[in-house]
Chain A
Amino acid sequence: MKKRKERIDRGIKARSSDIFALLSWREMLYLSAPRMLPIIGCLTLPLILGPYWQKVLLSVAVFALLAISWDILAQTGMVSLGQALFFGVGAYCAGVMNHYFGLSPFITLPVASVLGGLICTLLLLPVLRLRGIYFSMVTLIIPLMMVRVIEATKVFGGTEGLSGMTPLPSIWIELYLVIAVLLAALFGFRRMMDSDYGLILKGISDNDRSVINAGINIYQFKAQALFIAGSIGSFCGAFMTHVYMFVGMPVFALDYSILPIAAAVVGGPGTLAGAALGAFLLVPMSEALRGLGGLRIVLYGVFLVIFIIALPEGIFHYMQRKYQQFERWVEVEK
């Protein structure tokens, strides 16, 4: 007897576009768990981790933010290969403000986020008209170019970089600051992407002619998405500058471009939560494999390939489906 899998949506008893009629604590739990679990998890993790893994958590959160920044751009139809540009520009903004003007991290972080977002938007403004792979190529090149510019002109400490930055007062402030920003970005921008404004952004990636045909200036919207993504990326850079107390050419390294993409692809492209989830898997795994030396990258690569083949939709979409639907095997009638 042949069997097939049947999927049935888990019913929510009464539902309209924005009113949920909640009938029991079970239903409330069912609806709120996907939001509460990551929040509670993120807030308690720093308390249970040791000092080494607390440091890892910092870079997990930073890569999660970079992945979210990548995903916002990707959902707007701009596949970036250069998150390192955002990261690096933010890092140098904070570094310069702190090193030359002695501004405290609590000023440099917000200012660098906004300023970095603006600089990145201005840098990429001329290429907004490019679509698809052409846009990607330019974003790949610009961070590599920035490294050479700094090397050649010896600005901002040249190859030496700038060191002796003011650190944030304590590891706890670092941890909870970055986690708060991560949660705010995750839920805030998710809400934005689900709103009508987000619909226009997604519309640009799906069918830009139909958006133009509504009298909408798509370049204005693309520039806004770029600014949002640039600001998130710049915050990451600025934050890491204060964590490492150093800023130098490595901030434009390819890692900051590639890892967020890997995280978003493994986690589930097209969803910000998926992008963040990917970072929460990949970064700790890369740390755990550190003992293996050269084999680390090989194993890491093998894992990525297996993941992409086995779950091409991404972990988040898979989990979402399992959570929202019953599955059962039913016999197929001949």
Chain B
Amino acid sequence: MIKTPILQVDNLNKSFGGVRAIRQVSFDLMPGELLGVIGPNGSGKTTLVNLITRFVKPTSGTVAFKGQKISHLPPYKIVRLGIARTFQMVKPFYHLPAYKNMIIPLYSPRMKQLAGGRYGDRDAIALDLLEEVGFERDSHVAYKPAGALPQGYLKRLELAKALALEPDLFILDELFSGLSLAEVASIVPIIEKIRLQGKTIIMIEHRLKELFRIADRIIVMNNGQKIADGLAEEVMENEAVKSAYLGAEAD
């Protein structure tokens, strides 16, 4: 059986005024794949995520999810179809306890849809989900105000919020940025667990070493264009990638 792609990005373009942030980007993503997107600062990685989730309207081009065109839908409807993302800048409700932060995704119509019209006990589900991402159940961490939590926990909270929506496609925007090696090492197993459940993941990362260890495939962006697409080793041997990261050699 030939698998059909879960996500098809076709000739996506985005201009902000005169700046062409994304130029002619196309790629297909197979179910269960873990795609890493890398590139220097300002190369359009986050814009690409924003275009897929439609937080930003594409200038031209289409995005299709499970064969259905989604690039005309408002962002909340795209989430309901099963795409969840995390944000690079985590902005939780600082005064609320961590588990109360989970109420917002748990209030989502998608939850109601999945559970057959019932929401269930949100506080209990929140604590379960937080345990899954590493908030120890018997400690007080989940009850602490989010503002008092270290960055590592805030990123996990962000991940838990995406997990709560039970999506088929996760888009993780720089989940590892600002974390210590130990914190990254503790989050990687969570991502691998998500993968084992057959979910598709797109990870935008600057932490190449950690990303290469788990990614099936890497896309390299530069100046809004896709300059390489393939296995991690192949991609890093690519001349265009080398010059993008290290700067073009002087003539």
Contacts and interface: CB of A to CB of B under 8 A. Distances in A.
Contacts of A216: 76, 104, 107-109
Interface in A192-237: 196-197, 199-200, 202-203, 206-207, 209-218
Contacts of B105: 213-215
Nearest to A203: B104
B150 to A, nearest CB: 19
Given A17-B123, A215-B165, A216-B109, A210 B104 contact: yes
Contacts of A218: 76
Interface size class of B (residues with CB under 8 A): 20 to 34
B103 A199 contact: yes
A210 B91 contact: yes
Contact of B161 (A200, A202, A206, A214): A214
Interface size class of A (residues with CB under 8 A): 10 to 19
B245 interface: no
A215 B80 contact: yes
B61 interface: no
B87 A209 contact: yes
B75 A212 contact: yes
Interface string A65-90: 00000000000000000000000000
Contacts of A17: 123
Contacts of A217: 74, 76
Contact of B100 (A199, A206, A212, A215): A199
B158 to A, nearest CB: 9
B104 A215 contact: no
Contacts of B76: 212, 214-218
A198 B53 CA distance: 26
Given A196-B122, A203-B104, A207-B92, 4 more contacts: A206-B91, A210-B91, A214-B104, A216-B107
Interface of A: 17, 196-197, 199-200, 202-203, 206-207, 209-218
6 contacts: A199-B107, A200-B103, A202-B93, A206-B93, A215-B165, A216-B107
